[in-house]
Each structure stands twice: as structure tokens, then as C-alpha cells.
Amino acid sequence: MTSADPPSGSRGPTGIAPVLQVHPTRRCNLACAHCYSSSGPTQRKALDLDLLSGCLEDGVALGYRQLAVSGGEPLLYDRLAELLARARSLGMLTSVTSNGMLTTAERWGRLAPLVDVVAISIDGTPSEHDAVRRRSGAFAATARNLEAIRASGVPFGLIFTLTQHNVDSLDFVVHFAAGSGARSVQVHPLTLHGRAATELPEARPDSVELSFALVEAMRLGRELGVVVHVDALSADQLRAHRAALVPARPVAELTAVAPVLVVDADAIVTPLTHEVSPRLALGSLEQARLGVLARDWLRAGRGDVLADACARTWSELTAPPERAAVYWYDEVARRTRRLPAVRRQLQACITSAS
């Protein structure tokens, strides 16, 4: 999978270890309605292992300490074991996010020694999950395979994609997690990108839905002893964590402004999330190594432009009327696409660099 980011606890604006989020292929056994990467069975594109190895080396030098492999379905990337082994040899923590339909005992057994944490996507009750996954029996297949993951001893969590219509399903998912031995549930708001943008254009959760999810997460976590993390911030959290959310300028290090760095299946490197404006992408690993892309991006002042977008986002979101809760990266990304201000800044950067 997945339509989600790396497992919670690994990332983000709360100052946790910087994450290199790699999507090595769009190949997938499913073609889910909510897929942000438009992955599917007919997709063939996969990134070269040497290219990704160079990316990991440079990523570590830049301060990225965790590799999070997502997709497409990572288990359909032929070189997955080698990629994970390379990350481990560089001292990185490794995580894999999967739809769980292929994690049979045999397949998972080969990967398990290379994985520090695995996240499995569960999107509600069996019928809800199968509907959004557009595959009858998808839930049952994934649930069966959880036994192999549990038996391997690799800590695992579930990822639940929150839409405007399914916060009530969180109760089922957290109970299912508790009964399955999962340590956590990550609630990730639907991202309107890729197939999700055309198939579910009205389903992005609004701030009320996000705040319900925060409340439900607290209740369920307390009741069931499962860590339930929602990728959303309340208004109070926004105000309390300005220093972690808004990077200081001038930005000297990539990790200061991009605690998550996304490498998509086209080898494009983007800070924070897929939805950040392509104008703020670092570029393509097929054109230059990550170290070079990062150096040029910072020299051109792109880090400051992104930091300004963070500052503007924070100011707008904390001005009245406040919203009950927001998905921070989504809000920043939207502002990078709302571009007169960003375009002017980028133009200024280009002019001063030339």
C-alpha cells in the first residue's frame, strides 16, 4: 500500500526522527478508490535499486534516520529485501506499509528480519474495507496474514484512512487492533491526490470530522490500551507547537524544513507530502543524486519558501475563527499550491541565484 504516510511515531512536526519515505513502485495487487498514488495491477514502473541505494546514503548524510517503504504494494517491489538490508547497513530504522494481502508466512518470513515496524492498512469493517479496496475478500485475506506478522515478532500497527464518512468505523478498527495484537492504530486523513481525487472528491475529512477522530482516538486508546494516533492537530496543539511546526529561517538543513522527504515511483523528491506544489520539489533522482538536489534546493532558497508557507499556514490557522482540528501537512501543501506569494518568492530566488 498505501494511501498513508509512515507509521506514527516516526515523523513529522513533533520533532521525531526525520523519515525518508520511499515509494519504489506503483505496482499493486489492488486498485483502491482512495489510492493517492494511482497504483494498481497494470502499473509496472519500479525504481532502480542502485538509484535508491545512493538516495539512502545521501539521506543518512543529510540526517534522515528512518526508511519508510510504501507504494504501490511494497511486497511487489522485487528488490525490497535488498533495499531494506541496505538501509539497515547504513544504520537506518526500517518500516514497511502494506495492504497485508501478500504478507503470507513464507513471504513475510524472508522480510521480517529486515523490518523494525510494519503497518497494515485496515479501513473499517470487512464490508467497508472491501468496498474501498474494491476487492471482495480483501479484509479476510489481510486478517489471515496478521497471524504470520504476529508470529514473526515484528511490532505492527494498523493504518486507517479517515474520510468524511467513516469516523464511526474507528471503533471497530481499534477493537480489531486490540484483538490482533497490534500495538497502534494510525488514523490518516484521506489525501485528495491520484485516484482518490477523481473517485472520492468529496471525501476529504473536514475539521469537525478530524476533531471527532481525535476525541475517539483518546477514548478508544484509553479503553483498549492501543496507541491511537491521528494525523491531525487541535487548535490548542497548533498554538502550543509553533516552534516545531514553523522552521526558523534561513533554513540551513533539509531536515529542518522537511522532516519527511517523499521519493515517489517516478523518482521525484518532494518535501513533506505528495501534495506539496511540484514547484517546491527537489527534483528527480534520475537527474542527480539526493545530496546534489538537496544542496541546490537549499542554495536556491526553496527551504525558506517552504518555511514561509509553514509560517503563513500557522498564522492563518491560529487566527479566528479557529478550526477545531487540521491535518497540518495538507494545510501547508495547499498553501504551497495557492501560489501568487510562493511564485513571487520562487521567482526572487531564481533571480538572485542567477
Give the footprint of ligand SF4 on this chain (CB under 6 A). 1-3, 28, 30-32, 35, 37, 39-40, 71-73, 99
Q: Determine the Cα–Cα distance for residues 51 and 156; give it in Å rounded to an integer.
A: 28
Q: Determine the Cα–Cα distance for residues 189 and 87; give it in Å rounded to an integer.
A: 28
Among residues 28 and 220, whose Cβ is nearest to ligand SF4? 28
CB of 116 to ligand SF4, least distance (A): 21
CB of 7 to ligand SF4, least distance (A): 15
* Helix, strand or coil, per DSSP, at residue 93: strand
Which contiguous run of DSSP H or E holds residue 228? strand 227-230
Q: Is 30 exposed, middle or buried (0-12, 13-18, 19+ CB in 10 A)?
A: buried
Among residues 73 and 275, whose Cβ is nearest to ligand SF4? 73
Strand bridging mode 66-69 / 19-22: parallel
Q: Determine the Cα–Cα distance for residues 245 and 253; give it in Å rounded to an integer.
A: 15
CB of 115 to ligand SF4, least distance (A): 17
Q: Which three cell numbers stand for residue 117?
A: 515496524
> In this structure, what DSSP letter does residue 118 have?
E
Among residues 32 and 80, whose Cβ is nearest to ligand SF4? 32
∠ at Cα 198 (202, 162), nearest 5°? Answer: 45
CB of 111 to ligand SF4, least distance (A): 17
Among residues 156 and 297, whose Cβ is nearest to ligand SF4? 156
The length of the chain is 354
Among residues 142 and 211, whose Cβ is nearest to ligand SF4? 142
| Paired residues of 230 in beta bridges | 187
Among residues 196 and 293, whose Cβ is nearest to ligand SF4? 196
Ramachandran region, residue 63 (left: φ > 0; alpha: ψ -120 to 50; beta: rest): left
CB of 133 to ligand SF4, least distance (A): 6
Q: Which three cell numbers stand for residue 192?
A: 485528495
CB of 93 to ligand SF4, least distance (A): 22
CB of 294 to ligand SF4, least distance (A): 27
CB of 99 to ligand SF4, least distance (A): 4
Among residues 1 and 112, whose Cβ is nearest to ligand SF4? 1
Among residues 162 and 290, whose Cβ is nearest to ligand SF4? 162
Ramachandran region, residue 73 (left: φ > 0; alpha: ψ -120 to 50; beta: rest): beta
Which ranges in 134-231 belong to alpha helices (H)? 138-152, 170-180, 194-199, 207-224
